[in-house]
Structures are given as C-alpha cells and as structure tokens.
Amino acid sequence: MEASKVIDTPIAIASQLDMDESGSPVNQTMYRGIIKSLLYLTTSRPNIVFSVGLCARFLSNPKESHRKDAKRILRYRKGTQDLVMYYPSGDNFNLIKYVDVDYAGYLLDKKSTSGMAHFLGSCLILWGTR
C-alpha cells in the first residue's frame, strides 16, 4: 500500500455494496484485520466512518470486491493524513446537532442508515453512524 496512488473519496460515489455472491472469496483474517484497523481510525477520523461501516457488514463472508473497497479507504486515508480535528478555545458554547437518516435505503436487506454530528460552537464533539 505504500506505493499506491492517493484517491479523493473513501468510497466510489455510485458504488452499491452487496453480497457479491459470484465474487471470489478472500482471506477472512486479512479482511478483518483491515476493517479492525479502519474501525480504530474512525475514533479520530469521522470522514471515513460511513464507508468503514459499509465494509464492516461483510466480515463474515468477504469477497474480492469488498477487499477492493476496504483498500480504497486505505488509499483515501493515505492522502488525508494531514486532516486533523481542531478544538479552539473561546466563549462560543452553542450546541448544534445535525442528523441524517435513510430509511430502508440499503437495497440488499432494507436496513436503514443514519448519521449524526454534534458541534459545540464550530468544534465537532460527537459523531456517529448506524
């Protein structure tokens, strides 16, 4: 991965991850290791939370297409190493909450996807996806 090209987005824009029944299976241990590492990174990198969550749905039976999507996230991460969360000090304590929900939008099993972000002033303090 050190010689890989940097990519602009963590997941393809028109991508629809599915079970890929006809795809060739990959080593589960290797795939789980990639996803575990990415899940660890999500604690400080909210820009990859959604795409890592999508890839984590296929831990039990990963295919080559899922591995490629996970590696795409790693390539994106390589290009965004300089992105950091910055919490300036000050008297701005306005709490703002944003929520977005897609009910039954995942075509394979009709699962819903939601995301939220909480800001204290201009600082992100809490985020999540489900």
pTM for the model: 0.67
- Of 19, 51, 29, residue with least CA distance to 38: 51
- For residue 87, what pLDDT is reported? 58
Please state, in angstroms and rounded to a whole number, the distance separating the CA atoms of residues 72 and 128.
Answer: 21
- Which of the 8 DSSP states describes residue 25? B
| Chain centre distance of CA 88 | 26
- For residue 37, what pLDDT is reported? 93
- For residue 88, what pLDDT is reported? 60
Backbone phi, then psi, for 12, in 5-degree steps? Answer: -60, 140
Which residues does residue 126 pair with via DSSP β-bridges, in sequence order?
118
DSSP codes joined into one string, 66-121 = HHHHHHHHHHHHHHTTT-------SS---EEEEEEEETT--TTT---EEEEEEEET
Q: Note down pLDDT in tens along the chain; length 130 residues.
A: 788 899 988 888 777 788 888 889 999 999 999 999 999 888 778 788 889 998 999 999 999 999 999 999 999 999 888 876 665 666 666 788 998 887 776 677 777 788 899 888 777 888 888 7
- Which of the 8 DSSP states describes residue 46? G
Please state, in angstroms and rounded to a whole number, the distance separating the CA atoms of residues 73 and 59.
Answer: 16
